[in-house]
Amino acid sequence: MTQLKYKRILLKLSGEALSGDKGYGIDPTVLDAYSLEIKQVVEMGVQVAIVIGGGNIFRGIQGERSGMDRVQGDYMGMLATVINAMAIQSSLEQHGLYTRVMSAIKMEQVCEPYVRRRAVRHLEKGRIVIFGAGTGNPYFTTDTTASLRAIEVEADVVLKGTKVDGVYTADPFKDKTATRFTTISFQDVYEKKLNVMDLTAFTLCKENNLPIIVFDMNKSGNLIRLVEGDDIGTLITG
Ligand code: UDP
């Protein structure tokens, strides 16, 4: 049996990634690919919690730009994350996995309300827990939700799946000389002003000694390699 480096993970997926090349909405092929990756680690005995963004549908800031009240827009963004959570839930279930969506905003006809002890119980039973509706509060992000929920359920690590394979010295799409860090301290990320997560999310991890790994979720096999402790992506620790 393979040795697992991480037994309980919090996987953060951006909403934008779900839209694939379309830039909006949900691409079923992306959902399917992610579900297969997640299934592999669940079958290895890893407990999986997921936080998914809503950027493929709505962002609060977007509403504000068009004259909408920011708080109203943020609630719309939070509802968008529930749509994504339900989409990934369906896809995971099609692959025979057991899941629960837990929402920070009560909508009991659709999913369970978030209750920390129940979330932990689901994880212990091998169910994938998908946290919807962000933190339930405007002015926050789903990155902050990921850090907060990871700390609450005592996950071993936050795995931030992105379209780049780690944290670079500069934007690798703009600067060809940019190099990737294999590991970096929280302090260095601050000092070098590297863009890993928003500061609220980042500070939560730093203060609670919760490691973050930024990795390329679109490369098949990466999730398994990470839980086995392979040196991929960028590991941020204390
Ligand atoms: N949001 C919020 N509070 C939260 C989490 C999310 O108000 O705790 C809103 C916010 O408007 C945000 C939107 O939901 O823009 C979608 O989340 P996010 O932008 O983090 O999604 P991602 O960029 O990961 O797709």
- pLDDT tens per residue, range 106-158: 999 999 999 999 999 999 999 999 999 999 999 999 999 999 999 999 999 99
Beta bridge partners of 234: 214
Give which of 167, 179, 144, 172 is closest to 214, Cα–Cα.
Answer: 167
Q: Give the predicted TM-score (pTM) of the model.
A: 0.96
* Residue 20 near ligand 1, beta carbon < 6 Å: no
Residue closest via CA to ligand 1's atom 6 equals 141
Q: Which atom of ligand 1 is closest in space to residue 78's alpha carbon? A: 14
Do the domain assignments include residue 147?
A: yes
Residue 143 lies inside a defined structural domain of this protein: yes
Give, using CA atoms, the residue closest to atom 22 of ligand 1: 53
Q: Does the residue 3 lie in any domain?
A: no
Look at residue 1 and tell me if it is in a domain.
Answer: no
Tokens of 18: 């779900």
Task: Please check whether residue 166 lies inside any domain of the structure.
Answer: yes
User: Is residue 39 domain-resident?
Assistant: yes
Give the other-Cβ count within 10 Å of 123's Cβ. Answer: 22
Read off the CATH number of the domain in which 90 is found. Answer: 3.40.1160.10
pLDDT in tens, 66-110: 899 999 999 999 999 999 999 999 999 999 999 999 999 999 999
What are the C-alpha distances in Å from 38 to residues 30, 116, 169?
Answer: 12, 22, 29
Backbone dihedral angles phi then psi of residue 13, each to the nearest 5 degrees: -115, 140
236 Cα–ligand 1 center, Å: 23
Residue type, 17: A
- Dist. CA 80–CA 185, nearest whole Å: 33
Strands (E), the chain: 8-13, 47-52, 99-103, 112-113, 128-132, 157-162, 183-185, 212-216, 234-237
What's the CA-to-centroid distance between 133 and ligand 1, angstroms? 8
70 Cβ closer than 6 Å to some ligand 1 atom: no
Q: Does residue 173 form part of some domain? A: yes
Whether the CB of 16 sits within 6 Å of ligand 1: yes
Domain limits at 223? 8-237
In a domain, 194, yes or no: yes
Number of domains in the chain: 1
